[in-house]
Amino acid sequence: KLMTIRWLIILLTLASFNNLDAHPLRLSLCEIEYTSSTKLISIHLKLFLTDVNEALVFNPKSDELAFCQPNEPIKANELLLNYINRFFYIKANGERISLKIKRKRLSGDGENTALWVYFELSQLVILESLEIKNNIFTDLFFDQNNIVYIHLDDESKSIMLNKKTAIHKLEF
């Protein structure tokens, strides 16, 4: 039942992203999931493509990086990962996790096009603490908010991070 409620909340949040007329909200979504049976941490970031382009090439309408397109330049992943690493991290048990992009995809259209970035990492020791920093796009937008959903086995928590409160630590 908890899993059903969790997915319903996520789906409602994502649906609201797709129904925005002109992307007036400065918002990103991050989902972090750890399952002790698989010992995997998965991270999903949902970022508006116009914001990504503004951050990386200073032009929200640019198609220079062509994410998830056949003509995506080799430098696109490197630029994206460098930006993410400046403004986002996760520390498991006090150790910063090295992020490598597993895959990306686009959803939505026009101003509401979102770039999904997926990471997956092994966490072989018992997870005792998780520190999350997410101030993505706060260098660009004073009103940027970053919603973070954390799922640890059957427990879930959501937090809102922004320019004033960029870091949150959880102890298990």
From the CB of residue 65, how many other CB atoms can be counted at a distance below 10 Å? Answer: 21
Helix and strand numbers, DSSP H then E, in the chain: 3, 10
| Average pLDDT of the chain to the nearest whole number | 89
The model's confidence at residue 145, banded by pLDDT at 50, 70 and 90, is very high
pTM for the full model? 0.83
- Lookup result for tokens 């006090």: 94
Contact of 129 with 172, CB cutoff 8 Å: yes
d(CA 162, CA 165): 5
pLDDT of 20 above 90: no
- The average pLDDT across 97-126 equals 93
- Opening angle at CA 18, ends 158 and 63, nearest 5: 110
pLDDT of 126 above 90: no
The model's confidence at residue 124, banded by pLDDT at 50, 70 and 90, is confident
